[in-house]
A and B are shown apart, each in its own frame.
Chain A
Amino acid sequence: MLQQIEGSRAVASAVALCRPNVVCAYPISPQTHIIEAIGAMVKAGELDAEFVNVDSEMAAMSVLIGASAVGARAYTATASQGLLYMMEAVYNVAGLGLPAVMTLANRALGAPINIWNDHSDAMSVRDAGWVQLFAETNQEAIDLHILAFSLAEELSVPVMVCVDGFILTHAIERVDVPEQTQVDRLLAPFEPRHVLDPHDPVSIGAMVGPDAFTEVRYLASIRLSRALDVLPPLAQRHSDELARSVPSLVSPYRLDDADVVVVAMGSVLGTIKDVIDEMRDDGHAIGALGVSCFRPFPKDQIRDALAGASRVVVVEKAFSLGYGGILATDIALVLSGRGIPIHTVIAGLGGRPVWAASLRTCFNEAVDATLSETTFLDLDEEVVAREVDRMAATRRSGPSAENVLRDLAERSRT
């Protein structure tokens, strides 16, 4: 049914349609509206689930572990610091092979504390053993959550749906919320691969020493990587049922004969596509590749999609301090041996708007072969230079965050 609703509300509706048994809530912006909406549905009796107001994100993920281990469908949502706070359990649920589903309302990691969107939270758990799916739109956010439960339970791995905080979670737009009958056809009752059952008692979570640890971890990686085979037909099934294209591993856009290809994840693809449309109109052979599934990393699909590219620009909302682009590093590895230039554009950190004009400048430079290897989009060079000078001049130069804010305030007064 078509509805004009907030992204968080759309995600909550999708989750409710998946008939979760246990939902955990610990509030953190910008995830709050999702769990508030689910909580209201449970309290009103519209959704038959256990809704647990927990004491921390660590508890939220731990409750999911317990619930999933007895065969219950379990869900929570978090963001940013909350994800870091539950980090130990994030790895644990994956290691235990339990199919929890979580929304990550993507938000920057501090310090400095910042509640706005980027992808540094998602990147911090890329090695945890979760499937990580990225939504470009709120429609995709709905569809990916339903797909997430299907995929998680099929593979017995946890799945995280990354939804850009505020940009998507708080955007009110038209979405098509599926009917319960459609979702019921797509999502069979949860048949756990292992379960705590007094009639067939097993021990789960035993210690594993050097004799078997490599093998157990190798198998965990195989299980996760199976998503690369399982996801495309599953997404096709969902697409057929919902009568629209549900994202799978990668989302190509105007890639035919594209010399320059822009690679990105999440909502920024919308702006990128607008810029590409403009540039196509101006006669430039440029296209985009959305990475919908970041882990497991769809190497073959990306290699194939980029086969015709002579230059790649990776736009990403996170970076590895002291190194550079994270997605760009993965892309470079996939393209190793091709010898084509790969640029990193780090954009949208901590909620900085990613303007089409700024992207256009970058992409023009890419077409002209003048783009730097790494660009921090719209970096305020003057402010950075002032702080670098201050640090050079004074030993006790003070905290950088506060210095930069003071400089900005001073500049705006003059």
Chain B
Amino acid sequence: MSAERVPVRFYQVGSFAVGNRLVSADRRNAQSDPQRANSLTSGHRACAGCGEALGARYALDAATRVTNGQLVAVNATGCLEVFSTPYPETSWQLPWLHSLFANSPSVATGVAAGLRSLGKSEVRVVAQGGDGGTADIGMGALSGMFERNDDVLYICYDNEAYMNTGVQRSSATPGAARTATTDVVGEHPGNVFGTGKFVPAIAMAHEIPYVATASVADLFDLETKVERAMSMHGARYLHILVPCPLGWGSASSDTIRLSRLAEETGLFPVFEAENGELTGSRTIRHRVPVEEYLRLQRRFSHLFTREGEVKDVATVARIQAIADRNIRRYRLSEEVS
């Protein structure tokens, strides 16, 4: 994340709002533009406070702006697909194709190859899916698209479980989290530790041109990364953490707050990488202990007393250790960078 690309970052501490008024017009985000594309327009059937709906609109509006609307989107099966296209209504204001759950990276490869063969290379391709479609069932297709360096930006909206089918565990579900298939019963309630995968690291291992993570709490950063990704060709990967009020058991009004806390605890590292090398990290300004993040979510409520005191000290410490490791590994603190 070089200095000339993002020279200024303001936000009004306490309100979580990005200070758009304080930057010059050409640096304002796509969402502040009254003429924004609204690629995913209103009327869709996402839950109140859906982080994925927010993330998809932010990302695709930014991509639409930077490509002058020359954009095609491919969508994996999942919440985003279902809530956006209850037939005959559609919220998509751009050409959009849903094929299957496991194949959106391959379909996007086909779209890119088809466009290139027809001499329409100016039309760019974005593929999108949830963490299940990305980390689990679509992993082979995603890896294939990466290694071929196909001209596709793949965006994963990670809400850390299979929300569309009723909150079952995915390989992106964190340790201790309650899901419908990792119940809070037995000796180790919730999802087991030591399992799962972090797809951005897998993407980096493919040494593709661009890998980034982003959060819906940081609009400027998210849009800048989409623009950066679209300025490049080849396989690119953007992983956006999107809180799910339904699956996480959080208040709809806490979606942005949770996104910010995930970042500030270090549990969700925000960084970017080029050709497999870490090139920039979002420094945590106010480091927050993980319990501040966990406490707001019913999926972790078994770790706390009714009054909100930490009950399972060992498990919370284990989660804190993961956050601390992320901070070291992805250089999220000025002290270690």
Contact A69/B97 with A21-B114, A58-B106 known, Cβ cut-off 8 Å? yes
Min distance, Cβ B291 to any Cβ of chain A, angstroms: 39
From B75, B95, B100, B102, give the contact of A202 (CB < 8 A). Answer: B95
Which A residues touch B72, using CB under 8 A?
A: 70, 196, 198
Q: Does A410 make an interface contact (CB < 8 A)? A: no
Min distance, Cβ B304 to any Cβ of chain A, angstroms: 38
Q: What 1/0 mask marks residues of chain B from 139 to 181 whose CB sits below 8 Å from any chain A CB?
A: 0110110011000000000000000000000000000000000
Give the segment of B2-10, B84-92, B210-218, B275-283 that binds chain A. B84-92
Is there an interface contact between B95 and A205, defined as CB atoms closer than 8 Å?
Answer: no
Is there an interface contact between B143 and A55, defined as CB atoms closer than 8 Å?
Answer: yes
* Chain A CB within 10 A, most for which of B75, B113, B143, B147: B113
Closest B residue to A54 by beta carbon equals: B144
Is there an interface contact between A58 and B81, defined as CB atoms closer than 8 Å?
Answer: no
Is there an interface contact between B107 and A63, defined as CB atoms closer than 8 Å?
Answer: yes
Docked Cα-Cα span, A63 to B97, in Å, equals 12
* Chain B CB within 10 A, most for which of A63, A66, A206: A66
Is there an interface contact between A63 and B109, defined as CB atoms closer than 8 Å?
Answer: yes
Q: Does A409 make an interface contact (CB < 8 A)? A: no
Contact A196/B141 with A65-B107, A67-B113 known, Cβ cut-off 8 Å? no
Docked Cα-Cα span, A341 to B113, in Å, equals 53
Is there an interface contact between A50 and B92, defined as CB atoms closer than 8 Å?
Answer: no
Task: Identify which of residues 96-117 in chain A touch chain B, using a CB-to-CB cut-off of 8 Å.
Answer: 96
* Chain A CB within 10 A, most for which of B69, B96, B140: B96
Give the number of residues in B that approach A within 8 Å (Cβ atoms): 46
Q: Does A62 make an interface contact (CB < 8 A)? A: yes
Q: Does A68 make an interface contact (CB < 8 A)? A: yes
Q: Is the interface of B mostly helix, strand, loop or mixed?
A: mixed
Docked Cα-Cα span, A196 to B108, in Å, equals 12
What number of residue pairs across chains A and B have CB atoms under 8 A from each other?
Answer: 168
Q: Does B46 make an interface contact (CB < 8 A)? A: no
Which A residues touch B320, using CB under 8 A?
A: none
Which B residues touch A62, using CB under 8 A?
A: 99-100, 103, 106-107, 109-110, 141
Is there an interface contact between A22 and B114, defined as CB atoms closer than 8 Å?
Answer: yes
B-side interface residues toward A, CB under 8 Å? 69-72, 74-75, 81-82, 85-88, 90, 92-100, 102-103, 105-118, 120, 123, 140-141, 143-144, 147-148
Given contacts A70-B111, A202-B95, 12 further A-B contacts (CB under 8 A): A50-B113, A52-B109, A52-B110, A52-B148, A55-B106, A55-B144, A56-B140, A62-B110, A92-B99, A202-B96, A204-B96, A204-B98
A-B contact pairs, 20 of them (CB 8 A): A52-B109, A55-B143, A58-B106, A58-B141, A59-B109, A62-B107, A62-B141, A63-B107, A66-B74, A66-B97, A66-B106, A67-B114, A67-B117, A71-B118, A72-B114, A92-B100, A196-B95, A196-B96, A196-B111, A206-B98
A-side interface residues toward B, CB under 8 Å? 21-22, 24, 48-50, 52-56, 58-60, 62-72, 74, 88-89, 92, 96, 196-198, 200-209, 212
